[in-house]
Structure formats: structure tokens, C-alpha cells
Structure 1
């Protein structure tokens, strides 16, 4: 304990006077709290300063009629499509750009050229193949591009993009139509080429499972903020696509089951009578999935392999893309989900290799995702939502491809179970971001992956009370934010230029949003603003500026400092309790004060020799000779004098009753100094643990750092005495070093084992399988 001054007035003056830092420099007050405006695109008639679409907002539209046939003998696709393109922009367009994403796997693709490679002491075939690339005949073959009169239209193919040179410039408000004939060979996505679409071959029964995505030439986006988005597709940065209506005819072997974007138009032609009955039952079943094609039925079809064909017809309205899947191996189940005033069909397609896991969980997870996301954004507007088991994870409108297979004996680890549920929630959730809130994935992966991972985290926590979410909670981002600086980029970095893609584009923005919701804004303000963003930009093309501005506009909270630190910077959070001083108001009487001074003087004068001298020096000179004594040998400087009593009385008489009450309140003042070691400013969340066993948490907004971004001092008045203090007690801020968050400092031992034990790690792709062990007993 430290005492200040006897004079209460002087003490009070000190407490209300702001301290002046002796190390004040320009670096103490840099840019962390400067407004973000100069770093953002200027508002205009298309996008307002509030983050909403402007009164002259526009976007293009592209309708498609497509006929496609799958050749199950040689794994190839041939197709024809008619595109109707609407120019809703104020600009005259001389040409259109189309994406040819299959060309990312073509022989002349830049993807392998720009990928680093090296030789290791041990190399497997897959690693060597990735160096040699491949000699397979992959990529689009564009057979023709014609107008509706059959005349050829000149095109120029630039890697994964194709420029269509229009015969006449397309004026604002006009539309144009053209056709494209094309074909390509479907690749083995289980090989080193990988990727989102392709086929998986099942050697045991000789069948294929096709996931057909990026399978037709797709219109690129032309926007008010970027013009044409024709950045080459090299595998990571995903897609920027134009909304439109689709009519698609898909011809496949007659025994195949097809799942697709859109609504099946000819169910009575492609489904058996039994399947039709089950399908109609599923439309009115809300409590559990109805199996429409059973495992036994799928296993019979695996062996028969029909030679004839069927054509499935699907329609989809206002979608930015179209994907489908086909296989005779599929089991199919479905259930209805009430959503707003409509019923949504939640469905799953999966091979027997995925059972029993998928039959129990997949469609239920689809239904839960629709409900969870809709509650926080808008009612899911599409008629179907489909999950397909395809050993990967990728999203498209109304349909997504996911992983999660048990062992051959049907048992599985909880890592596989939760991993499967998580990927289904994530990929189905992508219907909201970016399939409907249609951001530019090629440029800003975080706008779909980060926002969606945040929503996934909330949905996971609603699924199971102790759900082992990998991302979302603040402390889980610490290992990434504690990485060496050369391995970090801001979230606001182009998709292709990120070293640690998963942590940067998925985990960090999801964590940032969770911190905004739980710690900075509070759930009520955050949820209102986030929902407003979703409602404003559903079926439109938002930019990062639109998100940042809407979150502030709808909440009334200035978040520029937060966007700067979390999205435009790479600094981590590392705030320490640097020093704590304890003060009490000096309300002692003269007698109490002199007694305390005497104790302090004795303590200051004491030295170890005094104890030894009591035995070694029987008598001192002064003790032996009275003539060696004077006034000071009998003087007591710690006795109370009349002058002391009068000064105390005069002091008390000058105080008002309010001042006397404060003087005798017994308050404890704790002057705390906090140091920002990491650079990222955050609120101070301080838990005071008192000597009586109680606790109290104080929350200081991040703006306390606005005048000194590196060190701040704050005084806290407490009625109770503090035993210890903890900074960020609930691990809310992603602090990378919690060892300096305690006062007094706490030390915990690092444990080590005599023998290293073996065991699975929760969340790994191959976790421990207690189910298998239990079955063996």
C-alpha cells in the first residue's frame, strides 16, 4: 500500500488531473482511430455512404437455356446453351466476357506454372505427377459461338476467359442472344489435379459419381465498381457471377439419380411410381427425412448399369450459377422445412459408402442450416437445398458437395461426425453468402468465406451445446495471429496472394465478427446491423465498403478503428497489465499517522546486524555513560504534539460533509497501467477479484487508446480490497500472450511426460474411434 498526501484537497486534485506521458511522440498517436473514409471507394449514385444500394443501382442479368449430356462410358460432357444477356448498365458494351473455368485444368494452364514445387528426399507418385502436370485432354473445347441466325461470332480465349466480340455494340437497356456449343472431358477429382468438380470412381462396383460444377461457359460480372471481373481463375479465388433464370435439360444413363440446382420439372418421367409416392410424402413431412431411393435399391442399380438414357429437366429462377450431380449409386432422402410462407425441400444424395452417417445427419443438418441462417438474415428464398456426399466441400445455388464417410464397418470418430456436420452447415450456408448476397469471391474471399464461417459457428452452437467448433471463438485465432509477420497479410488481400488462406479468409474474419457481436457492439446491435446488410444486398453485388458502412449505419457505432485493425492490418492483440498501484485516502488521526510513521522508520532503519549486536555488544557507550546523552536521546519524533492536533482539527473543519463522507468511505484506488505490446487496440476487459471472494468485471471501450495507442493509465475506485486482477478473463479479444494479463503475475508449470502417449486429436480428419472399440468388445 502507498499513501498519497495528508491534505485531502491535494489528493482530490491529483485524482482528477490527467497524467502527462513523458514519452509522448507522434508514434503514440498514429492512425488507429483515424476515420476509414479515405481508404474506401467514394459513395455515389450506385452505392450510398450509408452502405445501401443507391437510387441508380444496377446490375446485369444473363438467362440460360442449356441442353447437356453426360457420357458415362468415357466421362465426357457435351452441351449447347443459349444465353440472353441484358445490359442494365449505363454503358455501351462492345464485347462480353465469359468464364471458362474448366481451362484451369488445360495443358497450357497457368495454375501449375505459378505454383511452387520442390524435390523432397522421399516423393510419392502424386507429388511427382503434380510437378509433371498431366497429358490428359482437359479444358473446354468451344465448338462454336453463334448469333440466333447461325452466324459465327468472333471470340478470343485468354486462358480461363473468353471475349465475345458483338456484331453491334450493346446499348444500355438492350439485350442480346447468342449460342455456344462446347464439350470437355470430366477429370478425376480424386487425383492430384483435385478441384471442386469432376468424378469419383468406385473400383469395387465399377461406378462413377459425378459432381458437375463450372461445367458450362458462365457470364462474368460487369459492375459499377470494377467493370468486367475477368481475373484469371487459377484455382483459389472463386467466382463472380451474374444472376439469371435457367432452363436446363440433363441427359444421363436411365438408372442415374440426378440432383440439381432448381426444381425438377418432369418428376413423373424420371422417377419410378414408388419414388414418386415417397417424394410426394417428403413434401409434407417436417419431422424427419423420407428415403426416396433406398440403399438396397441403389445397390441393385450399381450392378445392372442401364444402357438407355433419360433426360431430367430443371428450372431455376434468379440464381448466379447452376450445378448438378449424377450417379446410379445415389441414395436420396428429403424432408420439408417451413420457411416464411413456403416449404423448402431439404435433401441429400449419397452413396452407400457414406452410410449410416449421412442417413442420420445430412438432411437434418441442411434443415437446421436453413432455419438458423434465415433467422439472422432473410427467409431462404429458394425451393430446395441439397447436400451431396462427394468427399469434398464446395457450394453452388441450392446444391453443395460435402465430405464425411464412416469406416467400412459403419463406425466413425466424432471428428468425422462433427467435421461432416460442419461442412454441410458451411456449404449449405453459402446459399446466403455468396449465392444470394453475391460478393466477388475472385477478389475478396473473406466476404463469403469469412461471413459464412461466422454464421456457421452460430449454427454449430445451436446444433449441440458443447459443439467443438474449429473457428469462431476468439482464442482459436491466436496461433495464426501470433505467426511470424512475413506469413501474415491483411484480410483485405486478394485471394490469390494469401499464404495461410484458411486462417486469413475463413477464421480471422469469422473471429472478428464474433468479437464484434459479443464484445464490441453487443448481440442486439450487431444482429440488427448484420441482418440489415443481408436484406439490403440480397440478390445484389456488395463490396467491402458496403458491408463496413452498413454495419456502422444500422448500429450507430463507429467501427472504423475495428475495420482498420482487424481487416486492414496484421497486428495481433497483446495487451498487458504493466503496473498496478494501490492508493487509499489518508483519513488517519495524528496519533495513527505518527504510529504508522514510527513503524515505517523502524522498518527502514532495521538491518540484520542489530539482531547479532544484541548478543555481541552487551552495552553501548551511551548506555554506559550518562554524560554521552543529550536531548535527542530522549526525544520522540513520533509523539503527537498540540500543533499536530490543531492542524488536524483545522483541516477537518474546512471539509464539507460530502468531503468528510468521501474521506471516511474507505475507498481503494487502483491505478493501472496497460501496455499495448501487439499493436491491435481492443477494449480493456478487467476482472477484479476481491479479498472477500467476490468478483466484478469492468469494460473499458477501445477508444481509451485514442490519444496514446501504446500505453494508457486508468484509475479504478473500489469499495473492496482487491486480491488479484485478470485482463480479458473470458478470452474475448484473441490476446496472443495471456501470461501478462494477471496482477500479481501468475506462473503455471509447463507439463512434460515421462513417456509420450499416443491418441487421436479432436477435429483431425482421422480422429480416435471409440465406436469401433466398443463394437469389438
Structure 2
């Protein structure tokens, strides 16, 4: 609707006052723009108000010497380890806490006890096994914990945690050393038990592929912000771990290939002469991976299982964990990657079942990930980055286990290809978050999963311009944010308490960071602040407070409203463009104004009764009796009088040049009213589509909602006439209802399909493999 603004307004003021919007809720000014303040920990000498480590920041250190032997006959390992623990805290410690993560699968584990279960009409064996929790002999057997003189140290095992009671308190600045002997049976991770570590058995050739993670008793974190982190491990919430140096000797069957955290120290003793030559060549190759053990060589070893053993020795410095993999099935390829002043070995280990997909892509994806992540954080500091095909996805320092196995004929769908590339990027990327920027995954899953998923999205887009990224773009999180309230929790929720874990811990924080980068802060400010956070906290233990504060400190932007809404709340984004009123300044002459008034009057006085009365009333009283007429029967209110002409001339003459220019500009004013239906405040991003076919986007900061969080009004002055308006045209705010984002409203029919009976068999694959179809035609 267009309205005319009287030119007389100009005589009083050149300012247009904004009308107050009707109240849309009982509480229009809640807490959405209040500072986080009391919700964050108070700054101190360990962590500053700026988000940086304080001048007295400290963290513990734990060095390890480990000897472990894999038994390929009965799928078990036994190990010995020496721990040197450094107390860098200001506190005396009477005892130490150690994580026994394998006990998650022990007989008395809480994991199956707290898992919900139910009986369906149809139950398969795997479902029943999950309920029965068969009497498997899993979990640690701690054989001894001794000091260096061989004297037993008292211990107390509490499910997945173990307390080591020291003979005397470990004082600040001191270190203590002790040894542990232990063993456990490795479980089939492809079974109902699942989990990250374990083995996969290949029935066709009778071989095993081992992914040895969370395999040794690991030191818990003692920190300035919570003391000991000894929350029980029940499966989802991952880990908080202490940095240290590792020297590890791994004894396996002689024909096994071992990949591991750290640098191989005895390649000349464990590799064949041919493999050693290829390994040396790979260290000088920067474009194409060198295959060190080929598929043909691996297939030969599958058939002739060695009885003797070899010991592989690896060293790793300043890592928070250590993992390894072993199998005679492995193909191994590697290439060098330049990272700053370092050369990193990007490598892949995979069985023949993963080819040709893995041989073509894996190591190149590892190299790309290092380059992409390093450009936005810090140069990758470790000498090795490994990707292992193991039908799962999990990360450890310098090594990760990924999926992506083609069909038996070597063909694969694009879903398998891109799924493999994405998981490799994601798991290799975890080297940065949390392996180096060492957040507490047990408490805040989003600090590693969310930040890493955001970085994964950026790396995916750099890999392929049309990459089908699942997480990152704002509109893809809208269905989750529109979920039933009963299924939603804030991002700042412990991982074990989250119903929709993937969207909450991975997708929503990744989307939030992408919105910050693209819409709220802009790429330059965001990238600077994000890199500042990464470099401040590399090889340290950050908390959410440190991240929030650093992002504001380095950018100069107050983001408390954003953290409140996206990380501490569950409200969705749904901003409705309620009304648009169109105004123009009135610069018409008296004749033009009267003519327009006549048209408006005639339109107002045109109605059906009047039309019918032309026939049904032959003569009115006034028509029949001239004496009933007076002045008004001949008066024309739409005629232009000399007084009208003089008033117009006098007004125009009173205007100064600037006022006259504005009156004659033909400017259009659009008064727009917005309603905050969803509750989460966001910027207003408005696209004006003009009658001449051009368009323009205006961006209004979220702070427009400060005084009324339920609804706001804004007037836009435009030289051109607006044909239509679109709110959030690039889908960058995660608005859950786009039907109320246009003016005039645009409606599209919902489609339904008519079909003739039948359907595919229940459980049949709905996927597509065009590669297989193309191959079948050849």
C-alpha cells in the first residue's frame, strides 16, 4: 500500500519519527542482550578477562614409557608402562586419578545399565545381545601398580577411574614415578558392543585389523578450573587428557604393518629393504603418495601368517594421547607436506577392501586438511598425520580411524566418496581441536566437535566448489532448531545429557561459527579472532569462557547476545516481515492533488447498491424538487481555487534549496514491521527488489532488537520504487519459517504424488550407485 506524506512535514522537520510497535508479548525486554557476566568464571591469575592464559597459568605433564604386546591368536594385549607425573600446580596432591576407559566394557560397567531399551515386535540378535550384555571377559586387569623400588602403591578402582594413593603428598614443582602392569581382551568393535577401539575380523581371509585406542591407563587432567576431571566414562562423552612425551614399543606378528602416533624409530629393523627404500622416497615426494606396501604384497601376507614377532618403536613429544593400528592386511602409502618450516608425513593405512577409493583419495585429503586448517590456526606442529580405514571415525594425536569402503566390485556411490572425504577431513582436523587446543571433551563436546565441524566445512568447500557439505550452511540447521522443545538442550550441555547429539554438539555450533564469520563479524575480524584463540591455547586447556572472551577481545565486537542465544538457549530463529507501508513525499500541484482526491472519492463511492439504484429509483427528492437544493448541491470540492494556488506557491517559496531538493526527489519511504516469532534475535538482512529489475541488500545489526525483543519497526528511504522485499535472502540466519520472509507474500503449493500400488521391499536400499550402472553397460 502506498501512502502520501504531506510536504508540510518538511517545513517542521527533515526527520521521520518511527512509530512504536504494538506489544507482541508480555515480556518484550527480557535478557537476550544482557552481558554474560555472572555466567562466566571470574578472571584470575590463571585465566584473564581477555580470554588469554594468565601470567600464572599452569598445567600438569605426564611422560610415558610403554611396552605392549599384541596377541593375534586370542585378541588380547598385555602392557607395562612407566609414568613420570609432574606437579606444576600450586597444590599438594595426596593422590592421582587415572582413566581406565576399557572398563566401560567390563562386567560391572554402568554403560549398559543406564542405556534405555525396549522390546519391539521384531528383534534381531544384535538388539537382544545389547539387552543381555553377554558375560564377556572385557575391561582392564590391573596386575600391579608399583614405585620404582618395586613396592606396591595402594589403588582404588571406581568403575572407569582409578585412584593412586601416593606414599607422601606430591608437592608443587615435584615429580613422581610409578609403573603399571595390565592386560585386557580386545573386543569386536563390529559387534553389538561397538565403540571406538577394538578389532574387525575379515572372515574371507581369516585376518584381523586392530585399532588400538584408549588402550592404556591414561592420566586424568588436574586443572585450575575444576581440580581432577574424573567424571565416569560411559561412552559418549570423550576425554580430558594431559600432555606428555611418549616412548612406546609395540610387539606384533612379524608380518603386521603398524601405524602409530609419533615417529618410527627403527624403520630399518621392521621394514623390508624394499619398503625402507620406498619409505625414504616418500619423505622426498610432495605431489603423489608413494605406496610403501602394495596391495599385492598385502594380499600375499594375508595367506601366509607369520609366527615370529617384531617390535616397532615410536616416539612422540607433547601429545595428550597415543594410539596405534596393526594388521597384515594393510596397504601403506605416504607423501610429504610442507607446513611452515616443517615437513609433515601424510600417510594412509587401508586393507584391499578399501581400494580403489582410498588409494586415490585418502592421503591427498590428509595433506589438504593440514594445509586448510593450518592457514586458519597455526602450522601443524607434529611430524606425522595418519588416516586409517577402519569402518568408523575417531581421532587421536597424529592418527585417526575413518570409514569409506566401496562395494566389492570397486564401484561406489557419491555418498560413500564424499562421506569418506568428510570423515577424513574431520578426524585429521581433530589434531587441532582437541589434540592441540586441548579442551575437555567430557564436559563440552562442542568445543572440539563443533569447532572442528566448522573447520571441516571450510576445508570441504576448498576441496570441491560444489562439495555437498552436510553441516555449516545456516539453513541446514533449521530443522533441528524447529524440533520439539522437549528434544532440545543448549549447546552448553554435558554430552551425556543430550538427546540429539549430532545436531547439538556438531552441527549447531559449527553453524553458529559460520554465521559469526559470514554475517555477524565478517570474515576478516572473525578469522583474526579465531586464529588468536587457537594460538593462545595451543598445547593448553581452554574452557568455553576462554573462547567466548577471546573472540570478543580480538575482534572488538560484543557477542554476549550471540553466545546467550546460540550456546545457552534453545530458541529458534523465526523473524517475520509483518507489514510494509509505502509512503512518498507529497510534491503535487493543487490540480494534481485535487484530481487524485477525485479519483479516491469516486472509488470510495462506488458500490453495488448505488449501481442498482440507478434503475430502481427513477427520481430522487432533490431531482424532483429544486427547492431542496442549496450551495453544496453545486459546490465542487475538487476544483482548484486561487487560495489553493497561492498556498502552494507560498510553501514552495519558503523551502530552502536542500528542502526543495528533497521534496522534488520522488523518494520512496518503506515502513517495515518485524516480529520475533522464534525468540532468537538476529540481524535483519533485507533484499529490496526494484521495479527496474535491480536489487539491493541492507543489513541491520541484531542490536535493533535491544529495546523490544518481540517486534521492531524500521523505515527505509529508497530513490527507486520497490517491487518486492525478501528477508534473509541468502538463508544465513537459520530462519525456521521462510514463508513469512517476503512482501508481498509468496505462496507455493505443496505437491503430492499419485502412484499406482506397490513399492520397494522393506529394507531395500534407496541409494544410487551410478558408477555401478555405468560399469555394467560396458
Aligned counterpart, 1:187? 187
SS at match of 1:247: strand
Question: What are structure 1's unaligned runs of at least 5 residues?
Answer: none
- Mapping for residues 339-358 of structure 1, pairs under 5 Å: 339-358=339-358
Q: Using the alignment, how far apart are the partners of 1:733 and 1:765 within structure 2?
A: 35
Structure 1 residue 210: Cα displacement:
0.2
Q: Using the alignment, how far apart are the partners of 1:157 and 1:138 within structure 2?
A: 15
Aligned counterpart, 1:54? 54
SS at match of 1:27: coil
Q: Using the alignment, how far apart are the partners of 2:362 and 2:429 within structure 1?
A: 14
Tell whether the 8 Å contact from 1:51 to 1:550 is kept in structure 2 after alignment.
yes
Question: What are structure 2's unaligned runs of at least 5 residues?
Answer: none
Tell whether the 8 Å contact from 1:8 to 1:585 is kept in structure 2 after alignment.
no
Structure 1 residue 614: Cα displacement:
3.7
Structure 1 residue 600: Cα displacement:
1.1
Aligned counterpart, 2:327? 327
Tell whether the 8 Å contact from 1:87 to 1:172 is kept in structure 2 after alignment.
yes
Structure 1 residue 632: Cα displacement:
2.2
- Mapping for residues 250-399 of structure 1, pairs under 5 Å: 250-399=250-399
Aligned counterpart, 2:596? 596
Structure 1 residue 340: Cα displacement:
0.6
Deviations 1:458-490 (A, max 9, x none): 000000010000100000001100000010000
Deviations 1:361-382 (A, max 9, x none): 1001100000000000000000
SS at match of 1:647: helix
Q: Describe the shift of the 1:671–1:225 C-alpha distance in structure 2 as closer, same or farther (beyond 3 A).
A: same
Superposition RMSD in Å: 1.7
Deviations 1:635-694 (A, max 9, x none): 111111122222222222222121111111100000000000000000000000011111
Pick which of 220-229 and 751-760 moved more: 751-760
Aligned counterpart, 1:665? 665
Q: Is residue 738 of structure 1 aligned with residue 747 of structure 2?
A: no
Q: Is residue 441 of structure 1 aligned with residue 475 of structure 2?
A: no
Deviations 1:142-182 (A, max 9, x none): 00000000000000000000000000100000000000000
SS at match of 1:774: helix
Aligned counterpart, 1:107? 107
Q: Using the alignment, how far apart are the partners of 2:757 and 2:384 within structure 1?
A: 48
- Mapping for residues 549-560 of structure 1, pairs under 5 Å: 549-560=549-560
Aligned counterpart, 2:539? 539
Aligned counterpart, 1:414? 414
Q: Describe the shift of the 1:291–1:25 C-alpha distance in structure 2 as closer, same or farther (beyond 3 A).
A: closer
Tell whether the 8 Å contact from 2:7 to 2:587 is kept in structure 1 after alignment.
no
Tell whether the 8 Å contact from 2:582 to 2:671 is kept in structure 1 after alignment.
yes
Tell whether the 8 Å contact from 2:329 to 2:352 is kept in structure 1 after alignment.
yes
Aligned counterpart, 1:718? 718
SS at match of 2:349: strand
Q: Describe the shift of the 1:11–1:463 C-alpha distance in structure 2 as closer, same or farther (beyond 3 A).
A: farther
Q: Using the alignment, how far apart are the partners of 1:255 and 1:756 within structure 2?
A: 59
Aligned counterpart, 2:480? 480
SS at match of 2:27: helix
Aligned counterpart, 1:630? 630
Q: Using the alignment, how far apart are the partners of 1:674 and 1:701 within structure 2?
A: 14
TM-score in terms of structure 2 length: 0.97
Structure 1 residue 759: Cα displacement:
11
Aligned counterpart, 2:247? 247
- Mapping for residues 476-555 of structure 1, pairs under 5 Å: 476-555=476-555
Q: Using the alignment, how far apart are the partners of 1:587 and 1:189 within structure 2?
A: 80
Q: Using the alignment, how far apart are the partners of 2:726 and 2:566 within structure 1?
A: 24
Structure 1 residue 608: Cα displacement:
1.8
Tell whether the 8 Å contact from 1:414 to 1:767 is kept in structure 2 after alignment.
no
Q: Is residue 221 of structure 1 aligned with residue 235 of structure 2?
A: no
Aligned counterpart, 2:405? 405
SS at match of 1:231: coil
Deviations 1:569-598 (A, max 9, x none): 000000010111001111111111111111
Q: Using the alignment, how far apart are the partners of 2:192 and 2:167 within structure 1?
A: 42
Q: Using the alignment, how far apart are the partners of 1:767 and 1:395 within structure 2?
A: 28
Structure 1 residue 627: Cα displacement:
4.2
Structure 1 residue 609: Cα displacement:
3.0
Tell whether the 8 Å contact from 1:88 to 1:172 is kept in structure 2 after alignment.
yes
Tell whether the 8 Å contact from 1:248 to 1:315 is kept in structure 2 after alignment.
yes
Structure 1 residue 35: Cα displacement:
0.7
Deviations 1:506-565 (A, max 9, x none): 000000000000000000000000000000000000000000000011111110000000
Q: Is residue 43 of structure 1 aligned with residue 59 of structure 2?
A: no
Tell whether the 8 Å contact from 2:220 to 2:228 is kept in structure 1 after alignment.
yes
Pick which of 734-743 and 582-591 moved more: 582-591
Q: Using the alignment, how far apart are the partners of 1:766 and 1:436 within structure 2?
A: 40
Q: Describe the shift of the 1:757–1:31 C-alpha distance in structure 2 as closer, same or farther (beyond 3 A).
A: farther
Q: Describe the shift of the 1:221–1:766 C-alpha distance in structure 2 as closer, same or farther (beyond 3 A).
A: farther
Pick which of 297-306 and 12-21 moved more: 12-21
Pick which of 24-33 and 328-337 moved more: 24-33
Q: Using the alignment, how far apart are the partners of 1:692 and 1:589 within structure 2?
A: 26
TM-score in terms of structure 1 length: 0.98
Q: Using the alignment, how far apart are the partners of 1:706 and 1:425 within structure 2?
A: 40
Q: Using the alignment, how far apart are the partners of 2:424 and 2:756 within structure 1?
A: 35
Q: Describe the shift of the 1:756–1:304 C-alpha distance in structure 2 as closer, same or farther (beyond 3 A).
A: farther
Structure 1 residue 628: Cα displacement:
4.4
Aligned counterpart, 2:428? 428
Aligned counterpart, 2:686? 686
Structure 1 residue 30: Cα displacement:
1.1
Tell whether the 8 Å contact from 1:5 to 1:11 is kept in structure 2 after alignment.
no
Structure 1 residue 766: Cα displacement:
7.5
Deviations 1:374-400 (A, max 9, x none): 000000000000000000000000000
Q: Describe the shift of the 1:343–1:497 C-alpha distance in structure 2 as closer, same or farther (beyond 3 A).
A: same
Aligned counterpart, 1:211? 211
Q: Using the alignment, how far apart are the partners of 2:709 and 2:4 within structure 1?
A: 28
Q: Using the alignment, how far apart are the partners of 1:517 and 1:472 within structure 2?
A: 11
Tell whether the 8 Å contact from 1:2 to 1:583 is kept in structure 2 after alignment.
yes
Q: Describe the shift of the 1:23–1:53 C-alpha distance in structure 2 as closer, same or farther (beyond 3 A).
A: same
Tell whether the 8 Å contact from 1:416 to 1:766 is kept in structure 2 after alignment.
no
Tell whether the 8 Å contact from 1:416 to 1:765 is kept in structure 2 after alignment.
no
Tell whether the 8 Å contact from 1:574 to 1:677 is kept in structure 2 after alignment.
yes
SS at match of 1:532: helix
- Mapping for residues 80-119 of structure 1, pairs under 5 Å: 80-119=80-119
SS at match of 1:225: coil
Q: Using the alignment, how far apart are the partners of 1:18 and 1:5 within structure 2?
A: 14
Q: Describe the shift of the 1:416–1:616 C-alpha distance in structure 2 as closer, same or farther (beyond 3 A).
A: same
Aligned counterpart, 2:68? 68
SS at match of 2:434: coil
Structure 1 residue 10: Cα displacement:
6.3
Q: Is residue 674 of structure 1 aligned with residue 704 of structure 2?
A: no
Q: Using the alignment, how far apart are the partners of 1:84 and 1:123 within structure 2?
A: 50
SS at match of 2:598: helix
